[in-house]
Amino acid sequence: MKVRHGVMWAIFLALVVAVQMHLPEPVEPEMLAYRDVPDETFWTLRRHAFRFAEARAREGFAFLEGPPASASFQILCKGVPVLHVERQPPLLLIRVALGTEHRAPAIFPLQATLQWSLMPLTYLEQVLSGVQEPALQDRLLLTLAGDVPEDERCGVRR
């Protein structure tokens, strides 16, 4: 009986891995929260992101302005959001999609540039503000799903 259950679990795990290989990345991003910034600082962050996307447009990057009523912007990699910055006073949120290290690794230097002057919230402050990290399950499923196909990556020169 134990052998049957073991085989059933092995088949179940194989199905989960197979399904994850054909489904898109989990939508749950890795989110970091910072203390809100003055308008001038936010527009400087936006300008850095815009220049990054503009300089790398041939590599598949694009800049997307948020709705007019919100203070937000995104960087897309071949239509897939990889970085999202949003001002939600009293917070500034920077979301990096899980799997970005495979899809668009060039985002990380931009993320570091955006974050260098910001005051991060502590883990406890993030939790109390409702900003939570992706679940371990999401990270595990992404790892099992494997790499992003080369034609869906940005920054890859051919």
Distance between CA atoms of residues 20 and 142, nearest Å: 8
For residues 154 and 104, is the Cβ–Cβ distance under 8 A? yes
> pLDDT tier at 67 (50, 70, 90 boundaries)?
confident
Task: State which of 44-53, 97-106, 125-134 shows the largest mean pLDDT.
Answer: 44-53
* Rounded CA Rg of the chain: 18
Whether the CA torsion 127, 131, 139, 11 is positive or negative: it is positive
Q: Would you say residue 1 has pLDDT above 70?
A: no
Helix (H, G, I), strand (E, B) or coil at 130: coil
For residues 82 and 31, is the Cβ–Cβ distance under 8 A? no
**73-94 average pLDDT score:** 92
Q: What's the CATH number of domain 28-133, 3.30.1050, 3.40.50, 3.30.310, 2.60.120?
A: 3.30.310
Distance between CA atoms of residues 81 and 74, nearest Å: 7
pLDDT in tens, 86-124: 998 889 999 888 778 888 889 989 988 898 889 888 878
Q: Would you say residue 133 has pLDDT above 70?
A: no
Distance between CA atoms of residues 155 and 62, nearest Å: 12
